[in-house]
Amino acid sequence: MITACETMLAPQMRAAKPVLDFSQARLLASEYGSPLLVVSRSKLAENYRTMQSCLPGVEFFYAAKSNPQYEILRTLHELGCPVDVCSAGEMNAAINAGFNPADMLHTHPCKTVQNLRDCYEAGIRLFVYDNANELGKFTRYAPQAQLLLRLAMSSQSSLINLSAKFGAAPSDAVELLIAARDAGMNVRGLSFHVGSQCLSPEDFLVALGQARQVWDDAAAAGIELEIIDFGGGFPAPYRTEVLTLEEYCIALGRALEMSFGDVNARIIAEPGRGMCADTVTLITSVLGKNVRNGTPWYIIDDGLYGAFSGIVYDHAEFPILAENQEHRLTSPCVLAGPTCDSSDVVTRDQELPDLEIGELLLVPTMGAYSSASASGFNGLDIARYVEIE
C-alpha cells in the first residue's frame, strides 16, 4: 500500500508528449506539407511561467542557441523573456523577433573580434570571458562591457558536458577576476553551465557551492561581485521520463537558497532545452518502405541531416509515435531519413506497426538542438515551422 507520505515523496515525472494529435497533424500536413515542426505558443508560455513561479527572483535568459526560430523568439519576446546569444547571427534573429540588444546577454566565452564588435556596437553590454587572452579584445573593442567569468563545472547526471571546452578552473578564478579589473574592465559576476540535459537538480548544489567559494575569495581579494549566472541544463523528456519542471525548479531553488541565500545577488539562468524542447512536435511522413534481410525499413521525409540532427550532435533519443500504436501489431524495424547517406538512420531499436506509405508519424520534444543544427544536405529543405496556440 502506498501511504500519503510516500506519494508525496515520490518524484513527479513527466513523459514526452506531442503538442497536437494525429487528426490535427493531418490537417496541418495537408495545408503546409511535411516534414513540419509545430510549435505550441501556450506550452512555451507555460514553461516560462513555471520557471518564474517556482524560482522567484531568478531572471531567465532564453538560450537562443537551442532554437533561434522566429516563432519561438517572438513568443518569448511577447512574454517578456529576454535572450542569451552567442553570435551576431543569434543576435540578429532576436532583433528580428523584437528584442533590443541592450537587454541581451552574450555568453560565448571565446569569440572572434568580429562577433564581439558586431554585438557590442549593436548595444549588448553583458559578456562572458574565461581566459586572460580574451580581455585584450574587450579593452580594445568593448571597453564599457560588463563581464561575467565563466567557471568550468560539470555534473554527474548531465548528458552533455559543456565545460570540456569552456570555463576557467575555479582555482584560477580570482586571478582572472583581478586581471579583468586591472585591465580596467567592469567585472560583475560568475557564470557556469553544469552541462545540458542535467537530470538531477541536486548537481547544481555542488556547482553553486564552488561558485560561492570563488565569490567569497573574490570578496576577500577586494572584488565585490553582484551576478551569479547558473546557466542552463534543465532537462526535457525524450524516450525516458524526467522530473516535472515544477519539481526540478523547486529543487534548484533549494540549492540556490543554500548556496547564495545569504547574499544579495542578481541571479540569472540561461535555459535553452528546458524552455523550448517540449514545445515542438515534428510531423514526418513515410515516403517509402522496403524489407531488407527480413527487417522492415521505412524511409521518412526527415532525418539526421534535418530535425533529427539532435541524434548526432545532442545524443538525443527521440520517441517516434504512430497513430493508434497501442492497438496495432508492432515489430522491430528501421526508420531511415530521406538522404542518400546510409548512416542517415533515425532509429533501429523502436518497434512500430506496419506503416503505410504517406502515413504520418509524430515526434515530440523536437524543440531544442533539432532544426537549429539541421542542414540542407542533398538539396533537401529543412522542415518548416508553423505555430499553434
Closest CB to ligand PLP: residue number: 232
Where in 69-128 is the site for ligand PLP (CB under 6 A)?
A: 84, 107
Q: Which is nearer to ligand PLP, 101 or 337 (CB)?
A: 101
* Residue 193 engages ligand PLP in binding (rule: CB under 6 A): yes
C-alpha cell at 90: 543569434
Phi–psi pair at 126, nearest 5 degrees: -100, 120
Rounded distance between C-alpha atoms, residue 336 and residue 244, angstroms? 31
Contact 224, 25 (CB under 8 A): no
Residue 76 to residues 37, 127, 159, 180, 366, Cα–Cα distance (Å): 17, 21, 26, 33, 17
Minimum separation from the CB atom of position 107 to ligand PLP (A): 4
For residues 101 and 233, which CB has a smaller minimum distance to ligand PLP in the complex? 233
CB of 128 to ligand PLP, least distance (A): 7
Q: Which is nearer to ligand PLP, 41 or 65 (CB)?
A: 65
Task: Assess 311 for contact with ligand PLP (CB under 6 A).
Answer: no
Question: Rounded to whole angstroms, how far apart are CA atoms 310 and 343?
Answer: 14
- Toward ligand PLP, which CB reaches closer, 62 or 120? 62
Taking the complex as a whole, the smallest distance from the CB of residue 77 to ligand PLP amounts, in Å, to 18
Q: How far is the CB of 315 from ligand PLP (least distance, A)?
A: 12
Tell me how far, at minimum, the Cβ of 155 lies from ligand PLP, in Å.
Answer: 11
129 lies in the site for ligand PLP, by CB under 6 A: no
Return the C-alpha cell found at 342.
546510409
Q: In terms of CB distance, is 35 or 232 closer to ligand PLP?
A: 232
- To the nearest whole angstrom, how small is the minimum distance from the Cβ of residue 84 to ligand PLP? 6
| Catalytic annotation, pick one of 110, 198, 333, 340 | 340
Query: Scanning residues 132 to 161, which ones bind ligand PLP (CB under 6 A)?
Result: none
- Copy the grid coordinates of residue 251: 529543487
* Pattern 215-244, ligand PLP, x by CB under 6 A: ----------------xxxx----------
Closest to ligand PLP by CB, 199 or 300: 199
Closer residue to ligand PLP (CB): 170 or 232 = 232
Per CB under 6 A, contacts with ligand PLP among 269-298 are 270-274
Catalytic residue status for 340:
yes
> Which grid coordinates are listed for 151?
567557471
Per-residue contact string for residues 33-72; x = within reach of ligand PLP by CB under 6 A: ------------------------------x-xx------
CA distance 216 to 213: 5
**Residues in binding contact with ligand PLP, number by CB under 6 A:** 18
Q: How far apart are CA 235 and CA 275, in angstroms?
A: 9
- Cβ density class 246-274: b for 16+ within 10 Å, e for less: ebbbebbbebbeebbeeeebebbbbbbbb
Q: Shortest approach of ligand PLP to residue 89 CB, angstroms?
A: 15
CA distance 281 to 278: 8
* Interface contacts to ligand PLP, rule CB under 6 A: 63, 65-66, 84, 107, 162, 193, 196, 231-234, 270-274, 368
Active-site amino acid positions: 340
